[in-house]
């Protein structure tokens, strides 16, 4: 933790994430117009940024700043649930495939390769289109498309520690495969999973926003950041703030997760040098 906080960019990332979480929790208190999520005031529509509406108002006359704060809740919900699901599917599969060396583990990895053979966003589009525009469908689409990343990572890491002395010793002592995997393999590879998950949260937010932008996210009036940008396009070039504000929010949050992930990598695993990219 100390090592993490010493790094300036990791500290910056952590601050962004903390601000994001706080603003999501206290959106109701912080938002100047909390009711603007689903009500509209057409007389006040498309006002530029001013002292009352920090980021201006949208096509319905709603306060963009307030909608962004409530959108943060949605962003966190989608990112955390989808990423957790992907981790919960991917990590066990990677562990099993990496621990055993048989046809079944080959099959598991082949399956994950097939998922990786299509760009994530394309597969997510197909799934989201089938299921219909709703929050839980976005989450489902993202978890189905993202688990192979963790499966691949955990598989490679498990393979590399599989024949280390401490694992062989546990096996020799008669520990069951499950016990070895959970108590011995998993802790030794946890740091790379944590790093990948942190960066993965940012990636999930980007894809979720893209789905929202394409109209596959939660339906209006949900204050989804991607959808807000899509809505703004009809009012360009005049209402530039309408497009700029949500995108800035996405940029900051994803940057926060990426910087934090990089910092965690340096802090947790000094062997890995800065500047290398994840899968």
Partner 1 sequence: MIARRCLWMPPTLFGLLLIVFTVSHVIPSDPARVMAGENASADQVAAIRHQYGLDQPLPRQFLRYVEDVTEGDMGTSLFTQRPVAEDLLARLPATMELALYAMTFAVAAGVPLGVVAALRRNSWLDHVVRVITVAGLAMAAFWLAILLQLLFSMWLGLTPVQGRIDGWGPDPITGFFTIDAVLHGDWETLGQALRHLVLPAMTLALPAVATIVRFTRAGMINVLSSNFVFYQTAMGIPRRRIVWKYLLRAALIGTLTQIGLIFGNLIAGAVVVETVFDWPGLGSFAVNSILHSDYNAIMSFTVFTGVVFILTNLAVDVAQTLLDPRGR
Provide the 8-state DSSP code for 234. Answer: G
* Pairwise CA distance, residues 36 & 71, whole Å: 12
Segment interacting with partner 1 (CB under 8 A) among 35-43, 85-93, 188-196, 226-234: 226-234
Interface with partner 1 (CB under 8 A), residue from 3, 6, 110, 136: 110
Please check whether residue 32 is in contact with residue 63, taking contact to mean a CB–CB distance below 8 angstroms: yes
Interface with partner 1 (CB under 8 A), residue from 213, 264, 265, 266: 213
Segment interacting with partner 1 (CB under 8 A) among 73-81, 94-102, 183-191, 204-212: 204-212
Interface with partner 1 (CB under 8 A), residue from 40, 54, 115, 235: 115
Tokens of 218: 């939660």
Pick between residue 69 and residue 144 the one whose CB is nearest to partner 1.
Answer: 144
* Pairwise CA distance, residues 134 & 206, whole Å: 17
Pick between residue 66 and residue 258 the one whose CB is nearest to partner 1.
Answer: 258
Tokens of 25: 């929790």
Longest dimension (CA), the chain: 76
- Closest by CA position to 192, among listed 98, 103, 104, 101: 98
Residue 106, Cβ neighbours under 10 Å: how many?
Answer: 12
Interface with partner 1 (CB under 8 A), residue from 14, 86, 138, 254: 254
Residue 107, Cβ neighbours under 10 Å: how many?
Answer: 11
Pick between residue 177 and residue 279 the one whose CB is nearest to partner 1.
Answer: 279
Tokens of 15: 């601050």
Does 235 help bind partner 1 (rule: CB under 8 A)?
Answer: no
Q: Is 57 strand, coil or helix?
A: strand
Please check whether residue 64 is in contact with residue 53, taking contact to mean a CB–CB distance below 8 angstroms: yes
| Beta pairing partners, 57 | 63
Does 215 help bind partner 1 (rule: CB under 8 A)?
Answer: yes
Count of residues for the chain?
A: 279
Interface with partner 1 (CB under 8 A), residue from 98, 202, 223, 263: 202
b/e map 245-257, b = 16+ CB within 10 Å = bbbebbeebbebb
Shortest spacing between CB 123 and partner 1, in angstroms:
7
Segment interacting with partner 1 (CB under 8 A) among 98-106, 174-182, 188-196, 267-275: 267-275
Does 214 help bind partner 1 (rule: CB under 8 A)?
Answer: yes
Interface with partner 1 (CB under 8 A), residue from 180, 243, 260, 264: 243
Interface with partner 1 (CB under 8 A), residue from 5, 18, 25, 114: 114
Q: Binding residues for partner 1, per CB under 8 A? A: 9, 110-111, 113-115, 117-123, 125-127, 129-131, 202, 206, 209-210, 213-216, 226, 229-230, 232-233, 236-237, 240, 243-244, 246-247, 250-252, 254-255, 258-259, 273-277
């Amino acid at each position: 933790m100390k090592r993490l906080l010493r790094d300036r960019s990791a500290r910056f990332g952590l601050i962004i994430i903390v601000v994001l979480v706080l603003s999501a929790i206290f959106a109701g208190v912080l938002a100047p117009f909390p009711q603007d999520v689903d009500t509209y005031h057409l007389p006040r529509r498309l006002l530029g940024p001013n002292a009352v509406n920090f980021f201006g108002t949208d096509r319905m006359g709603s306060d963009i700043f307030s909608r962004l704060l409530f959108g943060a809740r949605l962003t966190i919900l989608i990112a955390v649930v989808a990423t957790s699901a992907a981790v919960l599917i991917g990590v066990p599969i990677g562990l099993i495939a990496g621990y055993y060396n048989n046809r079944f583990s080959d099959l598991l990895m082949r399956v994950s390769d097939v998922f990786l053979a299509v760009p994530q966003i394309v597969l997510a589009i197909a799934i989201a289109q089938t299921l219909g525009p709703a929050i839980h469908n976005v989450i489902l689409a993202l978890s189905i498309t993202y688990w192979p990343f963790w499966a691949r990572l955990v598989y490679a890491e498990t393979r590399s520690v599989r024949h280390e002395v401490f694992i062989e010793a546990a096996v020799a002592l008669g520990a069951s495969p499950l016990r070895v995997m959970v108590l011995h393999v998993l802790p030794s590879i946890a740091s790379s999973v944590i790093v990948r998950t942190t960066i993965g949260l940012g990636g999930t937010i980007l894809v979720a926003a893209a789905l929202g932008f394409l109209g596959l996210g939660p339906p209006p009036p949900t204050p989804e950041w991607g959808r807000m940008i899509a809505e703004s396009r009809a009012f360009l070039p005049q209402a530039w703030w309408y497009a700029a504000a949500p995108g800035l929010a996405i940029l900051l949050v994803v940057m926060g997760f990426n910087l934090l992930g990089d910092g965690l990598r340096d802090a947790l695993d000094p062997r890995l040098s800065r500047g290398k990219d994840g899968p």
